[in-house]
Amino acid sequence: MAAEGLGLRGPRGPVFADVELRAPEGALIVVDGPSGSGRTALLLTLTGRMRPDAGTAEVAGRRLPRGAAAVRRMSALGPVPGITDPDPAHSVGEQLRERALLLSRFDGPLRGLLASPRRRAAAARERAEAALAAAGLDPDALPRGMRTRGRDLSRTETFRLGVALALLGRPRLLAVDDVGLKLTDAKETAVWELLASVAAAGTTVLAVGEPPAPAVAGEVPLVVVRTADRAREAV
């Protein structure tokens, strides 16, 4: 992922400006800055969901904004408050099945015709299990297993479910907003460790929040973009 002079203006002026970024695939990219400095807008721009009006950006070989549709297909929004909040009334299993059905339309008609319903169901279960494992959410540890409602999940479990739902589509880029919101220091560290593990498995992670200690990222490339002073630093 790369950006040069990237900017976006709103009705009241610049939302963010002069963003410089260069990060390899499989990196943990952290967007840091005070509330109101355009962090979420930058996250949505780099995932092809908002159109910049200055500078250039490239994600996995696709240039923005021309390749925005392709970037949207290869990226997924994890927990983004106000946009991807899990339904509190639906169970974990229901939300996974619903997301799988939404994704199935992109699997290709030929694959759907060749696979039997039993094989499709088995494949969906395997994908859900893999996504839950990657997100560190153990259904057996939940109050009612896969039947646990969203409202009964802890804040950390809700975050992990949001990551699992995003990973169902096997994206090349995972975007997450407000990491650590209303979490204790220990739980925030655990969440950053989760995101680092996702990046270590090959999925680039773009996350808004206060950067973790370099030790949390381990050997994963950690790149910080600051929206306040528009500086970039690689840790």
Question: SS3 for 220?
Answer: coil
Position 79 scores a pLDDT of: 95
Whether residue 66 is predicted with pLDDT greater than 50 in this model: the reply is yes
Position 168 scores a pLDDT of: 95
Position 132 scores a pLDDT of: 97
pLDDT mean over 47-63: 95
The answer to whether 44 touches 16, Cβ cutoff 8 Å, is no
Helix axes 92-104, 117-135, angle to 10 degrees: 120
Whether residue 78 is predicted with pLDDT greater than 70 in this model: the reply is yes
Q: Nearest 10 degrees: CA dihedral of 201, 168, 96, 82?
A: 90
Distances in Å between the Cα of 88 and the Cα atoms of 94, 119, 148 are 11, 30, 10
* pLDDT tens-digit readout, 122-178: 877 898 999 999 999 999 999 999 999 999 999 999 999 999 999 999 999 999 999
Chain centroid, CA 101 distance in Å: 19
**CB neighbourhood size of 119 (10 A):** 10
* pLDDT tens-digit readout, 81-103: 999 998 999 999 999 999 988 88
pLDDT-derived band at 231 (thresholds 50, 70, 90) equals very low
Which of 35-39, 107-111, 181-185 has the least mean pLDDT? Answer: 107-111
Instruction: Assign domain 2-234 one CATH number from 3.40.50.300, 1.10.260.40, 2.40.50.140, 1.10.238.10.
Output: 3.40.50.300
**CB neighbourhood size of 233 (10 A):** 11
* pLDDT tens-digit readout, 206-220: 999 999 999 999 999
pLDDT mean over 177-200: 96
Phi, psi torsion values for 97, nearest 5 degrees: -65, -40
